[in-house]
Structure 1
Amino acid sequence: MSITTKKLQLKVPEYTDEIYQTLQELGNNFHKLDEISNDYGSSAPISGIWDHNHVMWNAKPAIGDYVGWVNTRTGRAAPGWEPLKTYENGAYVRPQQDNGHVYICVQAGHSGAMEPVFPTSEEREVQDTRGATAWQRSKRYVKNDIVFPTVDNGRFYVCITEGEAGGTEPDWPLPTGTSVYDGTVVWLCYKIARWKEAGISSLFRPFGKIE
């Protein structure tokens, strides 16, 4: 009959144990050892579910760097939200200013120039169009201004050439990446990204500054 080690609770087979039981216990030992083995990387994780207190060690530590990163909150890791970026369905992001939550893209599209106000209520959704305004005739627009058509078509348009809008609203194209002239302004079409609250985010913090 096997005995159990004190710290890791590994099974130590006895010579009287059956072969099948011994192999099974040794296999379980390997799994436990793998789970507690150190993880190495070049930065804090941006994907996956991580437990509180998990440590990611710096694979290439150097002077001025940190020894590693420790997770201070159980949850999902995700990259920070970025402006004017295309996101696919199922992509995860966290707000640039941590609010304890992570968000999943439920409508593939393009992010706006300003970070949306991400909701913290469970499974609440938000459209990524903060800072966008309805198109206006004869108005001067600058690069990265964002407008909606006066009749919603599920798209927004980013100014890529600044200038003055025309006196008549342009015929807005629908395919993403298509440009349209509007007076002296040029707009680029993007489908609107939409986000849904998707649980708690992990929070890795660097530790051990190398002097």
Structure 2
Amino acid sequence: MSTETIKLKLKVPSFTDEIESTIRELGDNFKKLDDISDDYVTEIPTSGDFLIKKRLYNDIPVVGKYVGWVNTRTGKAAPKWQRLKSYKNGDYIVPDVDNGHVYICIQTGYSGYTEPIFQVSSGIEFNDTRLANGWAATTQYKLNDIVLPTVDNGRFYICIQTGESGDTEPTWQQVDGSTTYDGNASWASYRITKWKEAGAAAFFRPFGKIE
């Protein structure tokens, strides 16, 4: 009958064990060793699930950099939010400034021009249209202002030509990147991205400054 090692709890087969049982236990041993083996990366990961204390070693260590990174929070790694970027259902992001949460895209579209105020309540959903206002007639708009049509069409429009809007609402284009002309102003069309709070975000911090 097999016994276990003290630290890793690896199986130590007995001479009397059956061959099939021994092979299975050795296979389990190899998996445990592989799971705890060092991982080498060139930068902090932006995908995957990580347990707290997980260490990743710098594959290109140089003076002034770090030996590696250690995860300080069990959670999912994701890239930081970017403006006017195309996102699809299932994409994950984290805020530019860590708030402990990760967010999943639940409506394919484009992010807004200004980073949203990321909600932290569990499972809450919100649109990526921060600073957007409803369109108004004969109003002076400047570059990168964002408006929403008076009748929701699932899109936002970003000003690409400074000027005054017309006295009647334009017919809004509904193809991503297409231009709507509006008095002296012009707008580019984008489908709204929608986010959902999706749990804890992994948070890697550097360790071991190389002097």
- The 4+ residue runs of structure 1 with deviation greater than 3 A are none
Q: Equivalent residues in 2 for 1:21-36 (5 A)?
A: 21-36=21-36
The farther-off stretch of 168-177 and 17-26 is 168-177
CA distance in 2, matches of 1:162, 1:53: 51
Partner of 2:71: 71
Q: Deviations over 1:89-143 (max 9, x none)?
A: 0111111222111111111111111121222111111111111111222323222
Partner of 1:198: 198
Q: Deviations over 1:37-84 (max 9, x none)?
A: 111111111111110000111111122221111000111111111111
Partner of 2:151: 151
- Give the letter aligned to residue 205 of structure 2: R
- Give the letter aligned to residue 129 of structure 2: T
CA distance in 2, matches of 1:59, 1:167: 60
CA distance in 1, matches of 2:114, 2:64: 32
Partner of 1:179: 179
Report percent identity of matched pairs. Answer: 56
Q: Structure 2: state its 5+ residue gaps.
A: none
CA distance in 1, matches of 2:110, 2:148: 13
CA distance in 2, matches of 1:30, 1:123: 38
The farther-off stretch of 90-99 and 162-171 is 162-171
CA distance in 1, matches of 2:129, 2:114: 8
Q: Equivalent residues in 2 for 1:122-141 (5 A)?
A: 122-141=122-141
Deviation at 1:16, TM superposition (A): 2.1
Partner of 2:40: 40
CA distance in 2, matches of 1:143, 1:191: 19
Q: What SS does structure 2 have at the residue aligned with 1:186?
A: strand
The question of 1:87 aligning with 2:87 is answered yes
Q: What SS does structure 2 have at the residue aligned with 1:95?
A: coil
- Give the letter aligned to residue 6 of structure 1: I
The question of 1:107 aligning with 2:110 is answered no
Partner of 2:16: 16
CA distance in 2, matches of 1:85, 1:159: 16
CA distance in 2, matches of 1:57, 1:193: 35
Partner of 2:61: 61
Q: What SS does structure 2 have at the residue aligned with 1:102?
A: strand
Q: What SS does structure 2 have at the residue aligned with 1:208?
A: strand
Q: Structure 1: state its 5+ residue gaps.
A: none
CA distance in 2, matches of 1:84, 1:192: 10
TM-score (norm 2): 0.94
Q: What SS does structure 2 have at the residue aligned with 1:70?
A: strand
Deviation at 1:146, TM superposition (A): 0.8
